[in-house]
Structure 1
């Protein structure tokens, strides 16, 4: 085993032989050049080859790294004087699930009008997959995700997020309890998707929901659509559990996307046969497996609607005349959406 330490003024490497009674120090060497900390490791790999397990090459250190004390940071003029250009920062409160979080970030990137790295919108991602199951909390009295969501939102606030997006439809059932506890505004995926349906399909009267059972039970989409003059229908109980929930679990578990696609196509056709003029992918795992080429009925991706709203909001903030004078960094005019 080798430990490389940079905690002292003279960085050093120590080698230990591991045996059934513990370990014995067999070499120590001061490293004069921090950038060449692998040098002693390479020499020892030959000199002490008999002390290392055959499957563990010496030159791959068990512990190695650079460490800087707080005092060093306080005295660092390069860092102390650094101030990045002011840009709106999107905070993604994710991990519910991880693949859905990555999908939202990818869509934000693809929607951003950028010709180089520096033209893209700054994004901070806080992804904690330990957040308790939202559907279980809604339907079965499981552990509340609210403390976890507040914790993540506050972390994003501390890191400089100007507003927050949550790539989890079911989590939106709890955001009324989260928003009063955090400063950055949280954009609503529900409103973004419902507005997009009304704008792009102004004559639509019936929308079919493909969502978790928790989202359906909370009726967050049914209420948002009804407020826009649209009725929502949901799958029958058998289709909901056998197709929709099974497909969502398959995506979360990283199983074959083809398996999930087939199940969702069956659910989509079921809703279309019952009169749905537009389908809404109202769970962030669903657009990972179901896309427009898979079905004939128009499909709205709630994740894409949220990504579009996030990009538009960030670009608006960057161009707002109120940006510099805003006390919160939000800077939206009163009549802005």
Structure 2
């Protein structure tokens, strides 16, 4: 297969399935050959990213991710898509292990945020505790001129429950809790926007229907950027 990209996913698997579904549904296709060429690495057994970020005595995901990159180097895709937000904690090491461009989801999301909110403002970041501690999204958002709100313990507990208890453990799309979290952020804390920086949150957002609140879904942004770059590569061949 030529002219393809690779997806480094499986963290988690249902969220990766959501990403693949997005790119398949958003491409304009009238026949099989109109869809995109890609290879999916659904590496479900990568150790938990947040667990390592919070406690470096547990197994590190990095050797597993670097092994995946080594295998993708052999395949020589046009670019690599890393679908796990928290795994971007290791982004520099991952990109350093390959000459192939790895898309940076937090950076793409922050750029989109700036496009839709050119005057800046107060924006909340919702993600895993690992992503919060890593500070990757905060840095990208602040570089774009935004005031970043990080959830307090009570709000982060709600986010954790939605990600881990509901989606990861029970495959339950808890839209009521999701909307409660957004109400806390917008109505209670006065934010103008929010970035969803966890693919489990993106999965809930995908199933919400019409959302009464403006959100920047990082996975959705990444899907659009993936399609854009894949089509550019296709047309240049």
| TM-score normalised by structure 1 residue count | 0.66
Superposed CA deviations along residues 166-198 of structure 1, whole A, max 9, x for unmatched, are 111000011111111123210010111111111
2:53 equivalent to 1:121: no
Q: CA deviation at 1:95?
A: 0.5
Structure 1 residue aligned with 2:151 = 235
Distance 1:235 1:295 in 2: 20
Matching residue within 291, 306, 313 for 2:222: 306
Q: 1:265 touches 1:290 (CA, 8 Å); kept in 2? A: no
Q: CA deviation at 1:101?
A: 0.6
Q: 1:193 touches 1:302 (CA, 8 Å); kept in 2? A: yes
Unaligned runs of 5+ in 2: none
Q: CA deviation at 1:255?
A: 3.3
Structure 2 residue aligned with 1:139 = 54
Q: 1:278 touches 1:298 (CA, 8 Å); kept in 2? A: yes
Q: CA deviation at 1:113?
A: 2.5
Question: If you compute each CA radius of gyration, which structure gives the higher value, 1 or 2?
Answer: 1
Structure 2 residue aligned with 1:284 = 199
Structure 1 residue aligned with 2:160 = 245
Distance 2:140 2:107 in 1: 7
Distance 2:135 2:210 in 1: 27
Q: Which deviates further from its counterpart, 192-201 or 89-98?
A: 192-201
Q: Which deviates further from its counterpart, 308-317 or 197-206?
A: 197-206
Superposed CA deviations along residues 203-248 of structure 1, whole A, max 9, x for unmatched, are 341111110011011110111011111111122112202x101110
Q: CA deviation at 1:262?
A: 2.2
Q: CA deviation at 1:295?
A: 4.5
1:51-130 residue pairs with structure 2 within 5 A?
86-87=2-3, 89-130=4-45
CA RMSD of aligned residues (A): 1.7
| TM-score normalised by structure 2 residue count | 0.92
Structure 1 residue aligned with 2:108 = 192
Unaligned runs of 5+ in 1: 1-83, 324-337
